[in-house]
Amino acid sequence: MPKVKHQRTKTLTIKSNDRSSDFVTPNFIYGCLGGCRNSYCYVMRYNYDTVYINDNLDDILLKLKQHVEALPFPKPANQVDPQYWTYDIGCSTDISLHWKHYDWQRVFDFFRDHSRAKATFATKYVNTALLNYQPKKKIRIRFSLMPQSVSSLLEPNTTAISERINAITEFSRAGYEVHLNFSPIVVYEGWLQEYRELFRAVAAAVPPELRQEVAAECIFLTHNPWQHERNLERGFVQSEALLWQPEKQEAKQSQYGSQAVRYQLPLKREYINQWVALHDEIIPWNSIRYIF
C-alpha cells in the first residue's frame, strides 16, 4: 500500500495543455490510490509508492492567480472552452476519491469565483459529497467511461459504469459542467459491440435538455514497458493480456517525454474511424472535443 506523505512542494510549474484543458496546475496531490493503479494509470509510471499531499496550498493558488491574470482576456475561444482559461486540477490524482485528503473546496472556490478561470478534472468515482458544493458551471467534471467488463478488470473498486452514467444528469443539475472521458479506449474481441451498449446507456440516461453541454474527449490506450513488467510481477496477468498486445502496438514518446506504446498508426486510424462512426450513430449530440 502506498505511503501518504505531507510536504511543501517546490514544483510550482504550470504546463500548457491543449487537450483536456488549456493548462495543468501544479500538483495539489501527486499520486493516487485508485483502482487503475495496477493497470494503465500513467501516474504510476513515475510515482507508484507514495501519495504526496502538497500542503502549501496558498503558494499554489497564488501562482495560479498570477498566471491567469497575465493571460489575455477575453480568452480566444478554442475546443477546451469558449470563454474561460481552463486548468486541469487533477492530472496526478483523482479528486473525487481523495476529496477528504485536501481542502478542495478552497481550490474550487478559487476557480468558481475568478472571472477568467475555470477548473476541470477527470474521475472514476461518484462522490456525492461534491453535490453539496455550488460550482456555478465553473467546475467541469469528466466522468471516465468504458465498457463495464473492461472496467471491472482494469480499474477494480471504482464506481460502476452505470453509476457514473447516472451521475451525469445529477451533477449537471447540481451546477457542474459534465463531460465524458472515454479513456482509455482498449481494442479487444467484441469491443465495438460493448461500446454500442455503452453508448446506448449514455443515450438513455442523458435528457435532451442537457445534451448540448455534454461533450467528450476520447483517448486510445497507451501503455509503458516498465509498467507492463511491474504489473506482471505483481500477478496482473489477465489485465496485461488486454493492455500489452505487441502485434498491434508500436513504440512512441509521450507528450511529456516518456517512453510508451500505442496502437500502430494504420491500425489506430482504422479503430478511430470505427469507434467514431459507432459513436455518431448512437449519440451524435455528444460532440467529440478531440480524439487520439
Mean pLDDT of 221-227: 95
Model confidence over 112-160: pLDDT tens digits?
999 999 999 999 999 999 999 999 999 999 999 999 999 999 999 999 9
- pLDDT value of residue 255: 61
CATH architecture of 3-291: Alpha-Beta Horseshoe (3.80)
Look-up: residue for cell 473498486? 157
- pLDDT value of residue 96: 98
- pLDDT value of residue 131: 98
| Least confident interval from 39-43, 57-61, 166-170, 266-270 | 39-43
Per residue, the 3-state secondary structure of 51-103, as one string, reads EEEECCHHHHHHHHHHHHHCCCCCCCCCCCCCCCEEEECCCCCCCCCCHHHCC
Dihedral angle over CA of 36, 42, 47, 53, nearest 10: -70
Diameter over CA atoms, the chain: 52
Model confidence over 86-110: pLDDT tens digits?
999 999 999 999 999 999 999 999 9
Model confidence over 238-287: pLDDT tens digits?
999 999 999 999 998 766 557 899 999 999 999 999 999 999 999 999 99
Model confidence over 201-214: pLDDT tens digits?
999 999 999 999 99
Q: Please report, as a single letter, which amino acid is at residue 22.
A: D
Average pLDDT of the chain to the nearest whole number: 96
| pLDDT over 90 percentage in the chain | 95
- pLDDT value of residue 1: 74
Interatomic CA distance for residues 289 and 128, integer angstroms: 27
Residue 185: pLDDT band with limits 50, 70, 90? very high
- pLDDT value of residue 254: 67
- pLDDT value of residue 2: 84
| pLDDT over 70 percentage in the chain | 99
- pLDDT value of residue 86: 98
- pLDDT value of residue 168: 98
- pTM confidence score: 0.96
DSSP count for the chain of H helices, then E strands: 8, 14
- pLDDT value of residue 259: 84
> CB-based contacts of 18: which residues, under 8 Å, 6+ apart?
78, 79, 80
Burial of 273 (0-12, 13-18, 19+ CB in 10 A): exposed
Q: Which residues pair with 40 in a beta bridge?
A: none
